[in-house]
Amino acid sequence: MDGTAFLNTALEHVERLWGIAQGWLLSPAAWSQFGLLLVAYLAALYASRKLHPLLDRWLTPPEGQDSYIARARRFVSMFLPLLLPLLAYVFIGIGENVTRSLFGSGAVIAFGKRVFLFLAVRILVKEIIADPVMKVLGRYIFVPIAGLYALGILDEVMAYLDTTVVPLGNLSFSVLFAIRFVLVASAIFWLGRWSNEQSSQFIKKQDEMRPAMRELIAKTLEIGIFGVAFLLVMNIMGINLTSLAVLTGVIGVGLGFGLQKIASNFISGVILLLEGQATVGDYVELDGGEAGTIIKMTARATILETYDGRWIVVPNEDFITTRVVNYSDSGSANRYEAPFSVSYDTDINKVPAIIEAAVAKHPGVLNDPFPPDCELRGFGDNGVDFAVEFWVEGIDDGRNKFTSDVLFLIWNALKDEGITIPYPQRVVELKTPLTVSMPAT
């Protein structure tokens, strides 16, 4: 069907709809159906105003609850805006049965049902759907389809789209097939993404499992879920998977040449997750100077967050082929030291006990594997050099100020004991005496 034929068909439908409208305006049965529509709408409006507060209170769980039942109640409560059009649809369906039994016709009231169904779809897209992709599909596909259905011309439009063929090289497909493919694929992959999010959240709550194992299971499930989704789309749309053999071969050649880095990073990511030498939450430093906390591990790269909030994307291969320093592997403790000096007139035999007792008061300093240890490091130019070693759980970063806190404790402890911290002093020796000229009298 070409464009001209479709335009003529559309004009014919407009004329037909105009004739139907004129017939409704002059028909007592039609007016009675209009009255039933109005009664059904008012009844639905009254019922929704009474039921909406009750359902809202029942479906809204107490604040702070996060059980599966609470989540299900919140999910169902999202659809409360559909209460009015759905009640109207049900009441109008009852009215349709009455009018068909009395007048043998229910065309007007059936049209009202389709209109309220269109309003329900519009509310669903506008107020309930939050996913950006599904919102765009709903706005430009779901709502127009519901509008065509309400007008009663959906079958004719679908027939026209089915006969409109789009050539693509040796392949060709109809516009209707493309629309169906987009709808089915979007729905299945949206469901797959939702399932993946739910399963990932469940796995990450399993604290008895190693973090690396949790990440590996989550990634495996993600690949499995979207693989099944792809196969479902192909099967539902009737696409023969053997026709993709050539494409698979091309991808294989690409992996062997241009995509070998991507394949290497993917395999390196799997090795990282299996070995667990670096996982989400660890603070690492690479040979190249990149350092930060691992916040995400993808199939291609690992994302580090620095102290200043910047993200560094590091290929997974770098974690396998270069030296990596992990400062927080499996949440182990870390040792730091704080250097300081005291003046030469201090009884240095008392300093270690004073400093170790002061540092041990810090709530973050551990006694295991070792308590604070103050050591004499040397005799400097300006004073006696000491350093206190201490162990803490975590990294001395922007959130944790262990070294700074310990230096404060050292300062206060030395001040309380009357011990002075030296500052640089210089002795200047003059080889020749200074000549002082006296002013003339």
| Alpha-carbon separation of residue 158 from 151, 175, 436 (angstroms) | 13, 9, 112
Q: According to the model, what pLDDT value does residue 44 have? A: 84
Is residue 378 pLDDT above 70, yes or no?
A: yes
- 3-state SS assignment for residue 390: strand
Please give the model's pTM, rounded to 2 decimal places.
Answer: 0.49
Q: Which CATH number fits domain 332-416: 3.30.70.100, 3.30.470.20, 3.30.70.1400, 3.30.470.30?
A: 3.30.70.100
| Higher-pLDDT residue of 289, 311 | 311
DSSP 264-313: HHHHHHHHHHHH-SS-TT-EEEETTS-EEEEEEE-SSEEEEE-TTS-EEE
Amino acid found at 182: V
Tokens matching residue 371: 């308590």
Average pLDDT, the chain: 77
Same fold? 277-329, 332-416: no
pLDDT interval class at 304 (50, 70, 90): confident
| Higher-pLDDT residue of 248, 24 | 248
Residue 313, C-beta contacts closer than 8 angstroms, at least 6 positions apart = 301, 302, 303
Q: According to the model, what pLDDT value does residue 1 have? A: 47
In this structure, of 157-171, 180-194, 404-418, the range with the lowest mean pLDDT score is 157-171
Q: pLDDT tens-digit profile of 76-118?
A: 888 888 888 888 888 877 766 666 666 556 667 777 788 888 8
Q: According to the model, what pLDDT value does residue 23 have? A: 54
Provide, rounded to the nearest whole percent, the portion of the chain with pLDDT above 70: 76
Q: According to the model, what pLDDT value does residue 388 have? A: 92
Neighbours of 46 (CB within 10 A): 11
| Mean pLDDT computed over 329-333 | 59
Q: According to the model, what pLDDT value does residue 202 have? A: 76
Neighbours of 153 (CB within 10 A): 17
CATH number attached to the domain at 277-329 = 2.30.30.60
Is residue 408 pLDDT above 90, yes or no?
A: yes
| Mean pLDDT computed over 417-428 | 80
Residue for token digits 């019922």? 47
- The structural domains of the chain, with segments of one domain joined by +, span 3-163, 277-329, 332-416
Can you give the three-state secondary structure of 362-389, one letter per residue? CCCEECCCCCCEEEEEEECCCCEEEEEE
| Mean pLDDT computed over 341-368 | 89
Is residue 215 pLDDT above 80, yes or no?
A: no
Residue 157, C-beta contacts closer than 8 angstroms, at least 6 positions apart = 148
Q: According to the model, what pLDDT value does residue 387 have? A: 92
Q: According to the model, what pLDDT value does residue 20 have? A: 57
